[in-house]
């Protein structure tokens, strides 16, 4: 088994992904579409569900322990405000670019031109969304324990920040509590490593089920839309994230990409940025050298509000709808689409296909009737997962980029670790390790 554990995790995950696709195609070819999909759902998919449950199990413990430990380690609540302000500003900035990239690719590729929607079964969409006031009030939990049990990420973040600030204000008497959460964060990260050894098997199962359930025919029916979405997501990753890392942060892009490939692979297979959070935190802290005080506060926030992939997706789908039904949009409507898509994407849940059901809000900017919205959703939903996987991987990449940027600006980035070659694992110099050990005492 030395060859297995000696192979980089991202290589094992990508290999499992390719095998999953091949296995699904072979099974469907032998058994037929319906029987093959049923076989994989019954005997293969449970392995993927088990893996997904394992990483979801770690979300709340990891957010609570790393965020409390991170805030407490800052030693000054003002520094937390500086970190949070920079993170939110960057998330909003990248979302702005994402939406316009989506609109630009929608105009260039014309994915809705000549599409026949006659075979789509209409799926009604609930357009009632909670208002901004209700969302803000819901951030403050009436019962922190209930928030933990319900996996209410924003409420847990709010409580964890307050708890960390309380530890700082308590001084010496709060130090044992801070040490407890710091040790707990180490333990949860170790559990994350254990769970990640299951990742190749989970990815194989999830991808095999997705391919078998969607079918090649379904993918081919809206191939131009899928290609447009993937092209826009790749362009955003290269131009915005890669450009920012290289020209603003003056860091090697290849080192950044190599450092988060495990998180990208898990995000692609699970289509859940919240579910990938444990892996993202492990990659960013261990591979990119972002200190826990930054990673623990920036990444959970990003998994909640950073939905650049959804912003791109909504922009493209708006253009797709307009082209399919023959709407002639004005410049004002393009601006309204961009603003609405950006705001809607920020509140999108970090779960599979959440962005698709925000489409009604964006299409309302040019008065698309509910009947046509239902047809669009019915047409896209069967293959939405294929696009959702890619945009989730983009969201996770954006989270890592913002965490790296904030860490560098705050002096909390270990650049030696960031630049360490893949074949030479980074080791902190002896003085640095002694300081780190002293900080824990």
The predicted pLDDT at position 221 comes to 61
The predicted pLDDT at position 131 comes to 58
Report for 285-289, 359-363, 418-422: range of highest mean pLDDT:
285-289
Confidence of residue 122 (pLDDT cuts 50, 70, 90): low
Mean pLDDT of 290-300: 87
The predicted pLDDT at position 263 comes to 92
Of the two residues 353 and 294, the one the predictor is more confident about is 294
Of the two residues 415 and 354, the one the predictor is more confident about is 415
- Cα–Cα distance for residue pair 162/156, rounded to 1 Å: 10
Mean pLDDT of 390-414: 94
Q: How many CB atoms lie within 10 A of CB 49?
A: 13
- Specify the residue for token string 């031109």: 113
With CA atoms as reference, report the closest residue to 300 among 182, 158, 203: 158
Write the DSSP assignment of 266-303 as a string of letters.
Answer: HHHHH--TTTTHHHHHHHHHHTS-B-HHHHHHHHHHHH
How much is the mean pLDDT over the chain?
83
The pTM for the full model equals 0.78
Confidence of residue 248 (pLDDT cuts 50, 70, 90): very high
Mean pLDDT of 216-229: 77
With a cut of 90, say whether residue 230 has pLDDT above it.
yes
Quote helix, strand, coil % in the chain, to nearest 5: 80, 0, 20
Confidence of residue 437 (pLDDT cuts 50, 70, 90): very low
The predicted pLDDT at position 128 comes to 54
**pLDDT tens column, 62-79:** 878 888 887 887 776 677
The predicted pLDDT at position 242 comes to 96
Confidence of residue 438 (pLDDT cuts 50, 70, 90): very low
Confidence of residue 233 (pLDDT cuts 50, 70, 90): very high
Q: In the structure encoding, which two tokens stand for residue 49, read together?
A: 């569900």
Mean pLDDT of 147-156: 82
Confidence of residue 432 (pLDDT cuts 50, 70, 90): very low
Of the two residues 180 and 371, the one the predictor is more confident about is 180
Q: In the structure encoding, which two tokens stand for residue 169, read together?
A: 């204000």
With a cut of 70, say whether residue 104 has pLDDT above it.
yes
Mean pLDDT of 372-392: 83
- Specify the residue for token string 């093959």: 36
The predicted pLDDT at position 70 comes to 78
Of the two residues 105 and 154, the one the predictor is more confident about is 105
φ/ψ of residue 413, rounded to 5: -115, 125
With a cut of 60, say whether residue 147 has pLDDT above it.
yes
Report for 91-95, 126-130, 294-298: range of highest mean pLDDT:
91-95
The predicted pLDDT at position 353 comes to 53
Q: Mind listing the domains of the chain with CATH numbers? A: 8-440 (1.10.3860.10)
With CA atoms as reference, report the closest residue to 309 among 94, 93, 98, 87: 98
- Cα–Cα distance for residue pair 277/152, rounded to 1 Å: 14
Burial class (CB in 10 A: 0-12, 13-18, 19+), 427: exposed
Confidence of residue 440 (pLDDT cuts 50, 70, 90): very low
With a cut of 80, say whether residue 135 has pLDDT above it.
no
- Specify the residue for token string 């973040």: 157
Q: In the structure encoding, which two tokens stand for residue 419, read together?
A: 């630049």
φ/ψ of residue 305, rounded to 5: -115, -15
- Cα–Cα distance for residue pair 214/433, rounded to 1 Å: 51
With a cut of 80, say whether residue 229 has pLDDT above it.
yes
With a cut of 60, say whether residue 119 has pLDDT above it.
no
């Amino acid at each position: 088994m030395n060859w297995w554990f000696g192979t980089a995790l991202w290589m094992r995950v990508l290999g499992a992904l390719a095998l999953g696709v091949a296995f699904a195609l072979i099974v469907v070819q032998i058994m037929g579409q319906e029987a093959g999909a049923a076989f994989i759902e019954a005997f293969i998919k449970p392995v993927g569900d088990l893996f997904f449950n394992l990483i979801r199990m770690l979300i709340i413990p990891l957010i609570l322990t790393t965020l409390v430990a991170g805030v407490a380690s800052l030693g000054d609540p003002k520094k937390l405000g500086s970190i949070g302000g920079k993170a939110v500003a960057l998330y909003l900035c990248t979302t702005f670019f994402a939406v316009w990239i989506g609109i630009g690719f929608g105009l260039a590729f014309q994915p809705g031109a000549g599409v026949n929607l006659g075979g789509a079964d209409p799926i009604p969409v609930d357009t009632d969304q909670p208002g901004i006031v209700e969302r803000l009030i819901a951030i403050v939990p009436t019962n922190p324990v209930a928030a933990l049990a319900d996996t209410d990420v924003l409420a847990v973040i709010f409580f964890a920040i307050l708890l960390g600030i309380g530890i700082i204000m308590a001084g010496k008497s709060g130090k044992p509590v801070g040490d407890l959460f710091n040790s707990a964060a180490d333990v949860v990260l170790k559990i994350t490593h254990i769970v990640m050894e299951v990742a190749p098997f989970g990815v194989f199962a999830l991808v095999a089920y997705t391919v078998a359930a969607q079918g090649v025919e379904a993918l081919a029916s809206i191939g131009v839309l899928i290609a447009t979405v993937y092209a826009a997501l790749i362009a955003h990753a290269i131009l915005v994230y890669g450009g920012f890392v290289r020209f603003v942060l003056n860091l090697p892009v290849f080192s950044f990409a190599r450092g988060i490939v495990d998180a990208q692979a898990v995000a692609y297979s699970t289509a859940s940025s919240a579910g990938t959070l444990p892996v993202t935190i492990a990659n960013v802290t261990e591979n990119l050298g972002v200190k826990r005080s930054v990673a623990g506060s920036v990444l959970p926030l990003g998994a909640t509000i950073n939905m650049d992939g959804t912003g791109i997706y909504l922009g493209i789908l708006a253009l797709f709808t307009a082209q399919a039904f023959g709407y002639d949009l004005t410049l004002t409507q393009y601006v309204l689409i961009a603003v609405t898509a950006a705001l809607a994407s920020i509140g999108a849940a970090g779960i599979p296909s959440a962005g698709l059901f925000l489409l009604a809000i964006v299409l309302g900017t040019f008065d698309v009737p509910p009947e046509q919205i239902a047809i669009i959703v019915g047409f896209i939903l069967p293959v939405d997962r294929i696009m959702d996987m890619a945009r989730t991987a983009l969201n996770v990449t954006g989270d890592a980029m913002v965490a790296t940027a904030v860490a560098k600006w705050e002096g909390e980035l270990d650049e030696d670790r960031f630049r360490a070659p893949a074949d030479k694992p980074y080791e902190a110099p002896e003085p640095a390790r002694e300081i780190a050990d002293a900080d824990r005492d």
